[in-house]
A and B are shown apart, each in its own frame.
Chain A
Amino acid sequence: MSETRFQRRKDLPSTHLLGTGTPMCAGCGGLEAIHQIYDILGEKTVFINAAGCMTMLSVYPFTPFRGSWLYTAMASAPAGAQGVRDGLDVLLHKQRIESEEDLQVVVLTGDGSAYGMGLSATSSAIERGLDFLYICYDNEGYGNTGQQYSAATPHGARTATSKGPRGFPGYKKDLFAIWAAHRPAYVATVVGAEPLDLARKIEKAKSLKGPRLIMALSPCPTGWHYDPGESVAIGKLAVRTGCWPLKEYVDGKVVHTKVPHQRPPIEEYLKRQGRFSHLFQPERNELLLQEIQARVDGYWEGVI
């Protein structure tokens, strides 16, 4: 990443493009990431949105975006991106618009759409080589409906539909690997709490053509049950404890952009969130904590 213009924190954009006063919850980690992403992508963009929290960004007659927006449906935002991209290409090809009028097409969905209902549309958009950027804000559950578990929910987390003593019995789907298996131009994980890493990745994605997919871990005060002021700290801990690996897939290879060599135990991350409180109270669930730790350790053993 030596060619990046983002060498240090002070290189990050100082003017912010996304408007304030949106209906997102205080401390929304998804909005934090989108703020940073938008500053780099700029206003010559059209956001194609699927049903989720961020649908509430554009509520008639307001929008925080300086560029354009199209809400589609939960399952088919990548198909909406296909229609807009093709439409723009036709207009350019038939010289009905000037090239300065062209737009970067950006899909914006939550994990509910990305990991589940919209995966078929995403898979085929990648397979068709669609020139688009996909941003998934991953708050690890159906957040906009009150945090029921989704295919992105981590093992053991309590959600509105997994309130038992062991939390969610399933395991978070490896969407990064699924996306990368399609061999798109670019895949990356980011988190708003690591703005320099995020900026470099969005800068790289912006410079490439073809399908480029970004998943942003989105700490969620209302769904994960913690104080909104903790969002950045929790995002940082997700990276430091190794449960949210920062990585990118490009040219057929996966590269970790921030390897946490001294990983604090995963419980440092878990115990700050109400959704994992049943692992500690009324008594410590040592077995489950060990299992979660072992999965994180197992991941990094395969990396380093």
Chain B
Amino acid sequence: MKRALLTGNKAAAWGARLANVDYVPAFPITPQTEIIETIANWIDQDEMDCRMVTLESEHSMLTAAGAAAATGVRVFCATSSQGLLYAMEMLYTVAGWRAPFVLVNVSRGLAAPITLEPDHNDVLAARDSGFLQIHCSACQEVLDSTLIAYRLAEDERVRLPVIVNMDGFYLSFTREPVQIPDTKIVNQFVGEFDPENIRFSASAPVSQAVAVLGGTPYSYFRYETHLAALNGLAVYDEITEEFANTFGRRHDAVEAYRTEDAELVFVMMGSFATKAIDAVDGLREAGWAVGVLRPRLLRPFPADHFRRALAGKRGVAVIDQNLSMGKGGVLHTELASALYASAECSPVVVSFIGGLGGRDISLEEFYEMASVARKAIEEGCAPPPRLLYTREELREVRKLQAIANVEREELGQKK
């Protein structure tokens, strides 16, 4: 074991290296590029026995990734944002192939307007694809999750590809102390890839991904994929227990912080949850009984974990770093459906949207959200979803609009 200062991107590359991946189809996109640059460099230096090929698009990259996994090799790839969406057809397709491999997504807001900084609309667009999803909040977790993801993907009860998600910039380009475990111990933990019956060879011809006619066989295979994804809940718990025993770090499906005696719980995904943890410490000092729950596993959705952790709580403030246009926060919807009509667990669930395109969420805003949630608890009724935005920010945008209007007038255009 050695300790190093690593960016989230480097940590992801180390995960791939330690998992002995055979094949990396690649395509560059900010802020993911450092991952493939690192791996390319290791291959050039003979530090990794792996084949890497740059495709001409993420759509082709995902096709090659699935096809190689279907041929029987261990595959790693990485993308972000527009790239993930460009590959979307193939995300659904290769998950249906039941081709197990790991895709690291470095979250970044989606166009339009085009931007580089993070939120979760990209990875949540892949929510229903059949890929399982692990969301990270620290660089160590990125490395660890990549190893866990191979075990999860390749498990005979699951056999599905897995996305490991980290926030662009906040994790991808932030150096944190990361423990790089010994190769030998990782080899024992991850094991060799057993392609089972998914492979191509001359002596055992097989047709993969064939068409079906009619809803009956189609439904059968779709249900099978869903049930395999659900199997992932117990399998994930099993793997992370073994991981904790082997490496001494816990990565529970839902991470809990000071929730045991809490009346109000913040629920958040990704690196911004560490801001919620800071806020909870402040609120606790002021005598508020608050805590944080952070789902690491989004697919399969750990509904029982949430119901257990939220039993007896009076209020939940879900802070979504995403926005489903015309509905609101995706995590809010997911959690609300998991808690609906539950006898022992019926907190008031309040929805907030924040952190879009890398916008910060300040401590003061967490305090304000806690107040709003507490009021909702008292009134027994949740207010409509709140979009976090400050007067100061609005002033900044008004200034930009003023400049734009001056330029238009200069050109003789109408406002």
Contact = CB atoms under 8 A, between A and B. Distances in A.
Contact of A68 (B23, B51, B61, B206): B206
Best-buried of B23, B53, B67 by chain A (most CB within 10 Å):
B67
B55 A86 contact: no
A220 interface: no
A75 B203 CA distance: 29
B71 A87 contact: yes
B152 interface: no
Contacts of B217: 60
B22 A94 contact: yes
B90 interface: yes
A69 B66 CA distance: 14
Contacts, number: 154
A90 B22 contact: yes
Contacts of A83: 23, 25, 63-71
B212 A84 contact: no
A73 B63 contact: yes
B56 A120 contact: yes
A70 B209 contact: yes
Nearest to A121: B60
B100 interface: no
B201 interface: yes
A70 B59 CA distance: 16
A59 B210 contact: yes
Contact of A76 (B60, B69, B210, B211): B60
A67 B200 CA distance: 9
Interface string A76-106: 1111111110111111001011001111000
A293 interface: no
Contacts of B274: none
Nearest to B193: A96
Interface string B56-96: 11011101111111111100000000000000011001000
A68 B205 contact: yes
Contacts of A60: 210-213, 217
Contacts of B213: 59-60
A82 B25 contact: yes
Nearest to A67: B205
A48 interface: yes
A84 B201 contact: no
Interface in A86-134: 86-91, 94, 96-97, 100-103, 120-121, 123-124, 128
B60 A124 contact: yes
A87 B73 contact: yes
Interface in A37-68: 43-44, 46, 48, 55-56, 58-60, 63, 65-68
Given A66-B205, A87-B72, A103-B201, A82 B67 contact: yes
A86 B303 CA distance: 40
B413 interface: no
A72 interface: yes
Nearest to A97: B201
A123 B61 CA distance: 14
A100 B60 CA distance: 28
B202 interface: yes
A44 B204 CA distance: 10
A87 B65 CA distance: 9
A103 B200 contact: yes
B246 interface: no
B405 interface: no
Contact of A72 (B73, B205, B209): B209
A65 B67 contact: no
A71 interface: yes
B72 A91 contact: yes
A69 B71 contact: no
Given A59-B213, A87-B23, A94-B22, A72 B53 contact: no
A100 B202 contact: yes
B67 A70 contact: yes
Nearest to B89: A73
Contacts of A81: 67
B197 interface: no
Best-buried of A71, A79, A89, A100 by chain B (most CB within 10 Å):
A79
Nearest to B66: A83
B23 A58 contact: no
Contacts of A80: 63-64, 66-67
A192 B189 CA distance: 55
Contacts of B73: 86-87, 90-91
B207 A58 contact: yes
B56 A121 contact: yes
Interface in A131-171: none
Contacts of B51: 86, 89-90
A75 B71 CA distance: 20
A90 B25 CA distance: 13
B186 to A, nearest CB: 18
Contact of B202 (A75, A96, A101): A101
A275 to B, nearest CB: 27
A58 B66 contact: no
B208 interface: yes
10 contacts: A58-B207, A58-B211, A59-B210, A59-B212, A82-B53, A82-B67, A83-B66, A87-B70, A87-B73, A90-B23
Given A72-B63, A88-B71, A124-B60, 7 more contacts: A65-B207, A82-B64, A86-B53, A101-B202, A121-B56, A121-B60, A124-B55
Kindly list the 9 A-B residue pairs having the minimum CB-CB distance in the complex, ordered from nearest. Answer: A83-B67, A87-B71, A79-B60, A83-B64, A124-B56, A76-B63, A83-B68, A87-B68, A79-B63
Interface of A: 43-44, 46, 48, 55-56, 58-60, 63, 65-73, 75-84, 86-91, 94, 96-97, 100-103, 120-121, 123-124, 128
